[in-house]
Amino acid sequence: KARKRFGQNFLNDEFIINSIVDLINPSNEDVLIEIGPGLGALTRPTLDKVSHLNVIELDRDLVTRLKDDIKLSHKLSIFEADALTFDFSQFYEKNKKVRVFGNLPYNISTPLIFHLLTFHSLFLDMHFMLQKEVVNRMCAQPNSKAYGRLSVMTQYFCNVTPVLEVPPSSFTPQPKVDSAIIRLLPFDKIAQPTKSIKLLEKLTKIAFSQRRKTIRNSLKSLFEPDELISYGFDLKLRPENLSVENYIYLSNKLFEKQKI
Ligand code: SAM
């Protein structure tokens, strides 16, 4: 039976499962990682296409089941580990980027995405099943309700596309929310890099923690009103009105200020 604390909702819909694997389009030469293989709904059809797959699973009982399945186990490298703290850089191979996918546990999806983004240059692409609302937030454009810290940080590192919606009926047990698959393609080279990712994180955290306030107030602890004006910002703007580029620009201003 499914464990709630591990965010277990197992895919049961053959058509959806095949559509997801088609979207991922695994090929034999790929260095592939699946996060949260569970009972193997995505693992099995993926293994029909590749000879080797790395999987990271936290639930010991599920790990045992995967290991006991002889058809699967000789093709799998099973890591019984917490994906939230997992060091993905161990998959680094020269001239070969890593592909990662998974039907993620929804209870930890946001911190997990932030953790994965720290390895952005390792990954060729990422395909994740998430709550549709989280997918919407990751893809959101400025001036919308869904736009926030997750949008800025994801779009800073990656090209982001929602690729498939999945209804609750495709899972056992059924989640209470709609789901969707997102495709993340980390940029080879970030066009306008921040001088400090830490400051970009800090800035967006502070800005969106008071998203109804104007930037004059929400960014008060970081910038004087006069500074914001001198950078060309209207003090009446709200955090959701600033673009990703605006946040990068402001993080670099913070970086310069720290140096003084
Ligand atoms: N891939 C399977 C499927 O689609 O049917 C299972 C998906 S289920 C939504 C999430 C899976 O992630 C479960 O197998 C769960 O045990 C595992 N999991 C939960 N937390 C985890 C963590 N911190 N690290 C790795 N796996 C985790």
**pLDDT (tens digit, 9 = 90+) per residue, 155-175?**
999 999 999 999 999 999 999
Whole-number pLDDT of residue 199: 97
Residue 136: φ, ψ to 5° = -60, -40
**Ligand 1 atom at shortest distance from the alpha carbon of 105:** 10
Question: Model pTM?
Answer: 0.95
ipTM over 0.90: yes
Query: Each residue of 182-209: pLDDT tens digit?
Result: 999 999 999 899 999 999 999 999 999 9
CA 149 to centroid of ligand 1, rounded, Å: 25
Q: Which atom of ligand 1 is nearest to the CA of 17?
A: 4
Q: Which residue has the tokens 């970086």?
A: 255
Phi, psi of 128 (to 5 degrees): -130, 140
pLDDT confidence bin for 258, thresholds 50/70/90: confident
Confidence at residue 5, expressed as pLDDT on a 0 to 100 scale: 86
Cβ-based neighbour number of residue 86 at 10 Å: 19
CB 104 within 8 A of CB 145: no
Residue of 3, 4, 8 to mutate, ligand 1, most atoms within 8 A of C-beta:
8
